[in-house]
Amino acid sequence: MEKLERVREALADSDFFGCLTDEEIDRLVAFGTMVEVPAGKLIFQKGDPGDSLAVVVSGRVRIGTVTPEGREAVLNFVDPGQTFGEMAILDGKPRSADATALERSVLFCLKRRDVLAFLEQHPDVALRVIGVLCQRLRRTTEMVEDAGLRAMAPRVARALLRLAADHGRPVPGGVRIELDLSQRELGAYCGLARENVNRQLSLWREAGLVRQDGRRLVLLDRPALEQIAADGR
């Protein structure tokens, strides 16, 4: 019962299903299944059949892929209340990226056939799905542009500002990014080698722009980082 209540809460807070009534959420809950995933486990990989989406009830999921050059690229981090695997719901094609549990996670999974039937009855939810997908496409386009057109400092600054907007929490003196990321994972998100990201962060720590809080970063001077992100200095 407690797990089902957590599912209802996650759906009520969901970027897709948050507009539903309690009765509609209960109907949706009846379609899905709960899955517990240990930290580090691959949930699905690029090329797998796209037959479901998942809502993160607890934990966190990393979405990424491997470039043709063999380099890891991190595209997104999915928090509780957020969904992933939505593209498969619309086109039914194979997965376009990998999904891995960053930490022990509980997922609520819905099959494509059930979601499609539900969306036919709730076109307002379908519009939300399209809106969220457009937002994520814009974000991916922005990341591709950063990788191809910007120097190292603005790329790292823009990546940190995105992470702070999505996963930041105010703390004394700044905003802490609530992601337990290794330097390799942060480099994969920035599209840079770990050593380059580490060197840039060291310079910013000395300048008082950021500080390390365990494996979490705290942004101490967002205006300065925004200026770097804007003009590339």
| CATH class of the domain at 150-231 | mainly alpha
pLDDT digits (tens, 9 = 90+) for 63-99: 998 877 777 888 889 988 888 988 877 788 899 899 9
pLDDT of 1 above 70? no
Grouping H, G, I as helix, E, B as strand and the rest as coil, residue 71 is coil
81 CB contacts (<8 Å, ≥6 apart)? 10, 13, 14, 15, 18, 55, 56
H or E element in which residue 33 lies: strand 33-37
| pLDDT tens digits along 179-222 | 888 888 888 888 888 899 999 999 999 999 999 988 899 999 99
What is the per-residue pLDDT for 147? 59
What is the structure's pLDDT at 145? 61
Average pLDDT on 13-24 reads 77
Q: Which CATH superfamily is domain 2-147 in?
A: Jelly Rolls (2.60.120.10)
Query: What is the length of the chain?
Result: 233
Highest averaged pLDDT of the listed ranges 8-17, 39-48, 191-200: 39-48
pLDDT average, residue stretch 161-187: 90
Q: What is the mean pLDDT of residues 117-142?
A: 78
Backbone phi, psi, residue 41, to 5°: -80, 140
163 backbone dihedrals φ, ψ, rounded to 5°: -65, -40
Residue ranges, comma separated, of all CATH 1.10.10.10 domains in the chain are 150-231
CATH 2.60.120.10 residue window(s) in the chain: 2-147
CA gap 89, 118 in Å, rounded: 11
Task: For residues 4 and 8, give the distance between their C-alpha atoms in angstroms, rounded to a whole number.
Answer: 6
